[in-house]
Amino acid sequence: MGFLSVIAAAAAAFALGAAYYGTLAKPWVEASGVEVDESGKPKGGQSPMIFAMAFVLQLIVAGMMRHVFSLSGIESLSAGLVGGVGIGLFFISPWIALNNM
């Protein structure tokens, strides 16, 4: 069950990321001044390897979060959600803000 939950979490994170970036891709390209081809996509294209590596990295993150939650005794859905939101708000968000500064 643990392995399946890690795969499900990685797939959910990948899907949410795809929806987020898919929604904001056009405004970001326009605002950043990235050169686009006639179809409106950035020149140079995208390698499928980027998406494969993104999923592998999501698997690593989900697996490590499961390991840490297990060691911490977090076993219920609600405790896992609180832990996940806490990691997102207090570890990931400050890191992203720092990188963008």
Whether pLDDT at 1 is above 70: no
Helix (H, G, I), strand (E, B) or coil at 42: strand
Judge whether 101 lies within some domain. Answer: no
pLDDT digits (tens, 9 = 90+) for 16-63: 999 998 898 888 888 888 888 888 778 877 788 989 999 999 999 999
Dihedral angle, C-alpha 44, 48, 53, 54, nearest 10 °: 80
pLDDT in tens, 66-81: 999 999 999 898 998 8
The per-residue pLDDT for 74 is: 92
The predicted pLDDT at position 94 comes to 95
pLDDT at 44: 76
Q: Please state the domain count of the chain.
A: 1
Residue 99 falls inside a structural domain = no
In a domain, 80, yes or no: no
| Torsion on CA atoms 60, 88, 90, 92, rounded to nearest 10 | 60
